[in-house]
Structure 1
């Protein structure tokens, strides 16, 4: 690629960006929460809108498709758009998802979660970063390369926009198998991860896996008076607290037999940056041992993400007979999710306090991801990122999970997979005040256009 080509792409992205931002704002206004408790008509509307955007971007074959979930019900609508490869050129699959997480308590947001609001260089709104900005990154790259004006792309392109990623992608594997020929590609770009920081890009080379589930603890057949029976019977909330306290050792490392850790990463995360990025309160000590990046990317992590107990407002002088807790266990690369689930179930049974009746109910499982060495596609991505940002990218692990990547690897074993993204440490994906840094989004659009050009020139 010549310097003139790179400069022309940069100028073209700058020219296109106001319209791309407007497209992102329109997508954010659609409350496309895929969780079952929310109106799925919005997810359908989101699919319709993204499909039209892809048609307008010059992709001639655009379809809204679905596949059955494991229980036989239809999966959420996904959008698949294609433009065939020129003779002898490779095909690139561009992935993102158009569904979003629930907004949570509106009182925790500074702005309306579904009314995009720009403050400085950041655009706030649910899905602004995760992952409607990924959709816009793909659109922007295609427009920068000349679509919809009839220009020939240097590669074939298939855009795959999933509609249920935030609900665990229950129909994803069936979708891949049902539409295998439609989705087949030489390179797969998953735009659903993060960059190192604002101004420094990253290529995600590992992701933790996931096991979750619920513990139900029972100690009484029914609630009894705390004065009459307290002292001889501990309430279920106290017993649950004793049980969940066994999940970590005194240093804060996960203390469940049978879990594995991966090698320490080469790049580290400074404590000062971590405290700022995580909003850790002054005086709170960090948990775990080893490097910070190792704790976040290469070791298991367990969190109690929910608990059913009597609220303070509804409390009475009774001993709670039962308590439930929702557990989320992140798995290090190399960990088998089924083995981790069995280890967690065994730990819960072994540490049931005071003979309480304890049941473990397995939930979602997702495989971790470890990139396959230094591939030609990864080298092309690093070169494109360095050109777009003006600084070399960092190879990072991510503590979060994208379980469907393991499915992509199994269904398309010969494809090179690149995990990229538009987020930064302050994007607050899944939380209140989610946002995307608009300058970073511009760089992501440029980087993807450069990447597609480099792939077309030959890996």
Structure 2
């Protein structure tokens, strides 16, 4: 079976590359609220994906319409009696191209070079939509399992499915295994299952000290400067090594695969001569421990700044949370830490914002064994468990609604795919292997289900 599917997927790749070129050419950039100006491209991508799914054997294709969002594609392929049900998830929307001058080739023109296909959305995540399509085609549209499909069109700006929808409507998600094709390998050639996602929380910190800005010559040195107060409070969030210094935030060493320091330096594009901050293992810094980032700060621009003591200042913080710590609990710990600060006797106004819990799983049981076997075979290697510091709240929402389902985050990308940046690309070989892995998974889980 493996050799047959390997040959089938290889034969499908030229057609899949043509399909990806058609999808990349559609600038399906999503915006929250699904405003009218986004709809023509979004609907064009939707229609193209529907056509691809129908051609791959998916039946009963329908749109799940939710207020203020792009249509969500659903469909099924009935499998043999008693076979397991596999839900295939991905999304057809993308982020904007940014400054097109930073791209080597046009962002909405799929360009093949150096074993990769470049273009906005090529990696995140139109190639992963085609992983599902290709795996179904490899089986001639009749895989040995029951298939459910859910492809949405607003993941990039906050999926409407995250807001408790899976718990209210579990029928759309109920399956024995759920393949979240929105990820990939830690490095090219290394089969990787993402088993951990950090949670996150937002916090706004504000300071007001004066009725208005005052001349720095006349008042500086005695009048409390709101910006200095804010900066002084913010610096208490980290110790001298760069570790988060807030009590109550969970951190532990990461037990799975991670980057080497050299890989991380290259990925982060750290300036020469500067060190990676923090102590302990790299995985505990970026995956199984907290991070606090100042996303924005209100301050006068340097150019044209008046000579004034600042009357008010504000900062927006992003807190990344251990995958198994409730995000609201971590947020409360940071809020309590900041509330205890009184720089120069000045209190802070702290507002807790949105939170999203993380996710942690383990590929065990029949489905887990099937997924690892399929990935090992597709990559001719040993599958490792990895993580991401980014949150995908939908994964946690599905896990809460369908706790008996095995959830796997995998896909065609690798860490150097430069998603959301210029020259985004998907390696053709990684894409082929991910497609083969999914096709093999259908066989592996069906075989294990039959002998349970």
Please report the TM-score for the alignment, with normalisation by the length of structure 1. Answer: 0.90
8 Å Cα contact 2:225/2:311 also seen in 1:
yes
Aligned partner of 2:80 among 86, 90, 93: 86
8 Å Cα contact 1:95/1:188 also seen in 2:
yes
Question: Per the alignment, do residues 138 and 432 of structure 1 end up closer, same or farther by CA in structure 2, a change over 3 Å counting?
Answer: same
2:175 maps to which residue?
185
Distance 1:362 1:29 in 2: 40
The 10-residue stretch of structure 1 (181-190 or 430-439) with the greater mean CA deviation from structure 2: 430-439
Question: Per the alignment, do residues 114 and 309 of structure 1 end up closer, same or farther by CA in structure 2, a change over 3 Å counting?
Answer: farther
Aligned partner of 1:144 among 116, 122, 138: 138
8 Å Cα contact 2:189/2:379 also seen in 1:
yes
**Deviation of residue 231 (structure 1)?**
2.8
Q: How do 1:167-182 residues align onto structure 2 when only pairs under 5 Å count?
A: 167-177=157-167, 179-182=169-172
Distance 1:83 1:314 in 2: 63
8 Å Cα contact 2:341/2:348 also seen in 1:
no
Aligned partner of 1:434 among 424, 436, 448: 424
* 1:246 match: secondary structure: helix
Aligned partner of 2:92 among 98, 112, 115: 98
The 10-residue stretch of structure 1 (122-131 or 28-37) with the greater mean CA deviation from structure 2: 28-37
The 10-residue stretch of structure 1 (84-93 or 258-267) with the greater mean CA deviation from structure 2: 258-267
8 Å Cα contact 1:66/1:78 also seen in 2:
yes
Question: Per the alignment, do residues 115 and 319 of structure 1 end up closer, same or farther by CA in structure 2, a change over 3 Å counting?
Answer: farther
8 Å Cα contact 1:168/1:364 also seen in 2:
no
Aligned partner of 1:366 among 339, 349, 356: 356
Distance 2:45 2:225 in 1: 46
Distance 1:284 1:219 in 2: 36
8 Å Cα contact 1:261/1:333 also seen in 2:
no
Aligned partner of 1:123 among 100, 103, 117: 117
8 Å Cα contact 1:176/1:411 also seen in 2:
yes
* 1:400 match: secondary structure: coil
**Deviation of residue 146 (structure 1)?**
0.9
Deviation readout 1:331-364 (Å, 9 max, x if unpaired): 1122111111111212222225334453333333
The 10-residue stretch of structure 1 (375-384 or 224-233) with the greater mean CA deviation from structure 2: 224-233
8 Å Cα contact 1:262/1:333 also seen in 2:
no
* 1:210 match: secondary structure: strand
1:60 maps to which residue?
59
8 Å Cα contact 2:258/2:386 also seen in 1:
no
1:290 maps to which residue?
280
1:49 maps to which residue?
48
**Deviation of residue 13 (structure 1)?**
1.4
* 1:166 match: secondary structure: helix
8 Å Cα contact 2:267/2:416 also seen in 1:
yes
* 1:131 match: secondary structure: helix
Deviation readout 1:310-336 (Å, 9 max, x if unpaired): 334453333443333222111112211
The 10-residue stretch of structure 1 (120-129 or 220-229) with the greater mean CA deviation from structure 2: 220-229
Aligned partner of 1:22 among 11, 14, 18: 18
Distance 2:116 2:224 in 1: 49
Paired residues, what number?
446
**Deviation of residue 198 (structure 1)?**
0.6
Deviation readout 1:189-219 (Å, 9 max, x if unpaired): 1112231211111011211111123323333
Aligned partner of 1:34 among 30, 39, 59: 30
Q: How do 1:295-314 residues align onto structure 2 when only pairs under 5 Å count?
A: 295-314=285-304
Please report the TM-score for the alignment, with normalisation by the length of structure 2. Answer: 0.91
1:70 maps to which residue?
none
**Deviation of residue 113 (structure 1)?**
3.1
1:204 maps onto 2:194 in alignment = yes
* 1:7 match: secondary structure: helix
The 10-residue stretch of structure 1 (354-363 or 366-375) with the greater mean CA deviation from structure 2: 354-363
1:133 maps onto 2:127 in alignment = yes
Question: Per the alignment, do residues 452 and 352 of structure 1 end up closer, same or farther by CA in structure 2, a change over 3 Å counting?
Answer: farther
* 2:181 match: secondary structure: strand
